[in-house]
Structure 1
Amino acid sequence: MIAMDWSTLAPTALGGALALGGGFLGQWWGERRAVARERRDREHEQAVWARQQRRDAYAEFSSAFHRDYDTVVAMNVAGDEPDFEFFSSLYNRLSRVKVFGSVEADAIAEEMFENLMSYSGTSAEMPTRRVQESLDRFIRQARRDLGVPD
């Protein structure tokens, strides 16, 4: 029987095991970093999408409120009263503010909607100062929510 010289085989086997282990470790580490990067990218995309939805909800509500406010003032002057369907477009936009807007913006928008409904069809003069103040508060809150500097 021939004696085996383990002194050359052991370092070679150890070197091979370390190379395989290093390869697996490098692959695992790279995959972990890639998953973390994908997660950050996905979170960023979701944040951008949510911000765009919020911006659109605020802009649509503000635009619809201006349009309906002008119409209600004209109808009040003429002595007409809008039907319930008249407010459905504005209410749909208010619903988007409820979903995508902040709690503060939602409360202000709801107050604006209720004020407009309560003054429609009345012969009383629409308190334009009160409406303008609530609209200004809504715009300030929207700017705050969207990170737009004053």
Structure 2
Amino acid sequence: MKRRHLLTVAAAAAVATIPALAAASLPRVEVFKNPDCGCCGAWVDHLEAAGFPVKVTEVPDTGAVRKRWSIPDEFGSCHTGVVAGYAIEGHVPAEDIKRLLARKPDAVGLSVPGMPVGSPGMEVGSRKDPYQVLLIDKAGRSSVFATYPKT
């Protein structure tokens, strides 16, 4: 009886640590945002719900952050994240950041230009405008990394 109880407790403890291990394996995202922007906070919540640890730094000029991370202005949005040496511009879904980190392309990072309704942090009811996640290469060119809504 004691052995069965010990096995049950050990199994429960192992299962309870799985989410913590998964979160620990994801690198921290540092988010640079304007202090007055509410949608940026909702995007941070989205990242945290996906298991990313996040550090938020409020800055008066997000354009300067984009410039520091070599993100051309045409790919700009309201906040910039930095993770594992990649820039993440705008409302990029966490699943695409995870895919970027797994693939490790030679690139600047990802961008969702503008603020498309329905992207993470920009939810408005059931409305979901189409948008693309762009991979920005080191020459400042883009290619489509993902398209939403997925069909």
| Larger helix percent | 1
| Larger strand percent | 2
TM range (shorter): 0.3 to 0.5
Higher RCO (C-alpha 8 Å, min separation 6): 1
